[in-house]
C-alpha cells in the first residue's frame, strides 16, 4: 500500500515536564534572512506532517532486520530521487546517502537516521501493525520497529522534503545519511555507523563539518525536546566468559573442577567492580550478566560454564577500566579454584560513548531553545547506547531526544523502546522535523555562533 493512502488524524499536543525545563534567555541575534527561513520551515513542517506520518506508518508495516533493509533502501532511494537529491545506495550494505547543494555558499551539514528493526513480535493493535516474520540467530522471529527507527526515517524524509523546497535559500549543503544496522550486525558481519565511516561517508565529497541526529523516546512526553552536552548515551560492550573446569559425577565433586560454582562466584565478583572499584562520583557504570549457560543433566558437573553480559560506561577511560577489571576478576577467581577462563569483550557489539561536542551544543542551544520552547529539557545521561557515536568520533555531533508519549499517559500505556508494546504518539514527529531543519539552517548561517558560516568557533 502506498503511504499516502493512510488516513491521518492530527491531534494537538500539550507540553509536559519530566525534568527541569531550561530557563528562558534572550536569543542571540540572527543573521539576515534567518527569520524568514525559520518561518518557512515552520510552514513547511505543517505541510509535510501528513507525509511524515504516512511514510512512518508504511515503514512500520514493512520492517527489516539489520543488514537486511533491502526494500527499505529502495523505498528511500525512490523518495529522495523524486525530491531532486543526488543519491547513493548500497553503502555499508543497504545504507543510503542523499545530497542537496543549496543555492548559496556555506558549510556541509550531515543529518542521520537509522533504518533497521528488531526481532520483536508486535503486540500493539494498530491498522499498520507489523506482521512480518524473519530469521534471527537461526530462529523464526517477528520483526518490529520497536525502537522507533521508522519514525526517524519518516522525520528525515520530511526534512528532505522541506530542504528541497528551500534549496535556493539554503546557505550550504545537506548530506542525509540513512544508516542500516544500528541495532547491531548479524554474527560474522560488519555494518552500521562504523562501516559507513570506514567506507568514507564522512570524508567523501561533500565532506560534512558537523552531524545532527535524534531519537524518539517514550521516556519523554510529546512536545518535549531533551538535550545534554557531553555524554548522553553510554558505551556498550558485550562480554563472554567461558569457565573451563573438569567434568565429573555430581555425587563426587572432589574428582573434578566445578565450572558452575566458579561462574557463580565470577557473577558476584563482577558486581564488586561497580560497587568497589569504579569512581562513581565521576560517572555511573553498569556490569550486567544476562545469560548463564551450563550443564545438561542434574547429576553431572560439566566441563564448562558460559556467562554473557553487557558493560556500560559514560566515560571512555572508565570504559577501558571496565574491560581490564572484568578480565582480571574473571581470570583470578577461576585460577583460585584451579580453573581457567576465556574472556571476550566487544566481539558482537562495541559502541563508544555517544558524546555531544560541548562547543557545538553551546552554539546550537539558542536554536534548541527557540524550537523547543517550554518543552526543552536538559536531561541526565541515559545508559542505553547508539552507534551514532562512531560519527561523533570523526566530526562534532549533536544528538537529542524527542518525546513521543502522549501527555499525561503512563509508560504502561506507552511502553519503553524495544518493547513489543512500544508505540509512538505521532503528533510528536513535527517537533523532530523542525528540530533537525532548524539546527541545519542555523549552523549553515552561523546563527548563535557569533561568526559567519563555517567551522566551530
pLDDT in tens, 317-364: 999 999 999 999 999 999 999 999 999 999 989 999 999 999 999 999
The confidence score (pLDDT) of residue 34 equals 78
Residues 129 and 249 in one domain: no
Report the alpha-carbon distance of residue 226 to residue 21 in Å, rounded: 9
Residues 42 and 181 in one domain: yes
**Tally of CA atoms within 13 A in the half-sphere of 27 that contains its CB:** 18
Q: Dig out the grid coordinates for 96 from the structure.
A: 543510503
The confidence score (pLDDT) of residue 51 equals 98
173 is a domain residue = yes
Residues 244 and 333 in one domain: yes
Residues 226 and 297 in one domain: no
Residues 369 and 389 in one domain: yes
384 is a domain residue = yes
Angle at CA 280, nearest 5°, toward 275 and 281?
Answer: 145
Is residue 290 within 8 A of residue 284, CB to CB? The reply is no
The confidence score (pLDDT) of residue 295 equals 97
Q: How many residues does the chain have?
A: 457
Residues 194 and 100 in one domain: yes
452 is a domain residue = no
Residues 141 and 211 in one domain: yes
453 is a domain residue = no
DSSP 8-state secondary structure symbol assigned to residue 425 = -
451 is a domain residue = no
Helix/strand/coil percentages in the chain, nearest 5? 35, 25, 40
Is residue 377 within 8 A of residue 21, CB to CB? The reply is yes
Q: Answer with the one of 332, 350, 368 that is the final residue of a domain.
A: 350
pTM: predicted TM-score of the whole model, two decimal places: 0.89
Active site residues: 351, 426
The confidence score (pLDDT) of residue 18 equals 34
Report how far apart, in Å, the C-alpha atoms of 145 and of each of 52, 62, 253, 263 are.
16, 9, 48, 36
Measure CA of the first residue to CA of the last residue in the chain; give whole Å: 48
Q: At a CB cut-off of 8 Å and minimum separation 6, what does 49 contact?
A: 8, 10, 158, 429, 430, 433
Residues 196 and 335 in one domain: no
User: In CATH, what number is assigned to the domain containing residue 259?
Assistant: 3.30.70.360
The confidence score (pLDDT) of residue 33 equals 64
Which helix (H) or strand (E) is 76 found in, with range? helix 70-82
Q: Dig out the grid coordinates for 440 from the structure.
A: 541545519
Residues 344 and 425 in one domain: no
Which tens digits make up the pLDDT trace of 43-58? Answer: 999 999 999 999 999 9
Reported in sequence order, the residue ranges of 235-303 that DSSP labels E, i.e. its strands, are 235-244, 248-249, 285-294, 300-301
Q: Answer with the one of 350, 365, 396 that is the final residue of a domain.
A: 350
Which residues of the chain fall below pLDDT 70? 1-33, 447-457
User: In CATH, what number is assigned to the domain containing residue 52?
Assistant: 3.40.630.10
Residues 166 and 243 in one domain: no
Q: What 3-state class would DSSP assign to 292? A: strand
Is residue 158 within 8 A of residue 164, CB to CB? The reply is no
457 is a domain residue = no
Which helix (H) or strand (E) is 308 found in, with range? strand 304-313
Q: Answer with the one of 330, 350, 370 that is the final residue of a domain.
A: 350
What backbone torsions phi and psi does residue 84 show, to the nearest 5 degrees? 90, 15
335 is a domain residue = yes
DSSP string, 196-211: HHHTTTTTSSSPPSEE
Residues 206 and 86 in one domain: yes
Residues 333 and 244 in one domain: yes
Question: Whole domain around residue 273: which residue ranges?
Answer: 235-350
455 is a domain residue = no
Domain count of the chain? 2
Question: Within the chain, what is the greatest distance between any pair of CA atoms?
Answer: 84
Amino acid at each position: 500500500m502506498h503511504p499516502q493512502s493512510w488516513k491521518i488524524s492530527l491531534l494537538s499536543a500539550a507540553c509536559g515536564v519530566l525534568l527541569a525545563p531550561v530557563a528562558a534567555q534572550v536569543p542571540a541575534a540572527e543573521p539576515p534572512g534567518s527569520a524568514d527561513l525559520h518561518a518557512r520551515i515552520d510552514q513547511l513542517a505543517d505541510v509535510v506532517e501528513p507525509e511524515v506520518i504516512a511514510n512512518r506508518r508504511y515503514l512500520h508495516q514493512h520492517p527489516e532486520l539489520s543488514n537486511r533493509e533491502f526494500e527499505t533502501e529502495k523505498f528511500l532511494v525512490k523518495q529522495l530521487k523524486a525530491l531532486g537529491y543526488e543519491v547513493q545506495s548500497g553503502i555499508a550494505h543497504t545504507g543510503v546517502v542523499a545530497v542537496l547543494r543549496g543555492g548559496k555558499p556555506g558549510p556541509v551539514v550531515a543529518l542521520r537516521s537509522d533504518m533497521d528493526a528488531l526481532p520483536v513480535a508486535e503486540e500493539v493493535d494498530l491498522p499498520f501493525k507489523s506482521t512480518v516474520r524473519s530469521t534471527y540467530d537461526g530462529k523464526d522471529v517477528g520483526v518490529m520497529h520497536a525502537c522507533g527507527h521508522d519514525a526517524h526515517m519518516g522525520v528525515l524524509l520530511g526534512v528532505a522534503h522541506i530542504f528541497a523546497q528551500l534549496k535556493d535559500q539554503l546557505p550550504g549543503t545537506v548530506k542525509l545519511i540513512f544508516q542500516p544496522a544500528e541495532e547491531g550486525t548479524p554474527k560474522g558481519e560488519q555494518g552500521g555507523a562504523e562501516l559507513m565511516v570506514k567506507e568514507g561517508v564522512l570524508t567523501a565529497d561533500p565532506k560534512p563539518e558537523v552531524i545532527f541526529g535524534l531519537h524518539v523516546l517514550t521516556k519523554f512526553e510529546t512536545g518535549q525536546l531533551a538535550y545534554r552536552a557531553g555524554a548522553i548515551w553510554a558505551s556498550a560492550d558485550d562480554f563472554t566468559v567461558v569457565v573451563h573446569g573438569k567434568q565429573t559425577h555430581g555425587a563426587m565433586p572432589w574428582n573434578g573442577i566445578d565450572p558452575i560454582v566458579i561462574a557463580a562466584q565470577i557473577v558476584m565478583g563482577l558486581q564488586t567492580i561497580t560497587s568497589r572499584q569504579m569512581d562513581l562520583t565521576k560517572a555511573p557504570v553498569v556490569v550486567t550478566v544476562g545469560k548463564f549457560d551450563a550443564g545438561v543433566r542434574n547429576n553431572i558437573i560439566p566441563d564448562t560454564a558460559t556467562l554473557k553480559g553487557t558493560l556500560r560506561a559514560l566515560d571512555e577511560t572508565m570504559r577501558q577500566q571496565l574491560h581490564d577489571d572484568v578480565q582480571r576478576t574473571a581470570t583470578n577467581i577461576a585460577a583460585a579454584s584451579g580453573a581457567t577462563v576465556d574472556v571476550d569483550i566487544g566481539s558482537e557489539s562495541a559502541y563508544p560513548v555517544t558524546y555531544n561536542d560541548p562547543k557545538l551544543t553551546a552554539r546550537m542551544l539558542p536554536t534548541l531553545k527557540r524550537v523547543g520552547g517550554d518543552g526543552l529539557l536538559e536531561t541526565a545521561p541515559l545508559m542505553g547506547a547508539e552507534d551514532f557515536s562512531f560519527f561523533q568520533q570523526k566530526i562534532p555531533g549533536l544528538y537529542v531526544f524527542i518525546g513521543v508519549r502522549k501527555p499525561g499517559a503512563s509508560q504502561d500505556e506507552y511502553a519503553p523502546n524495544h518493547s513489543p508494546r512500544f508505540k509512538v504518539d505521532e503528533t510528536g514527529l513535527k517537533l523532530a522535523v523542525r528540530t533537525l531543519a532548524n539546527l541545519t539552517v542555523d549552523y549553515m548561517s552561523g546563527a548563535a555562533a557569533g561568526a559567519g558560516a563555517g567551522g566551530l568557533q
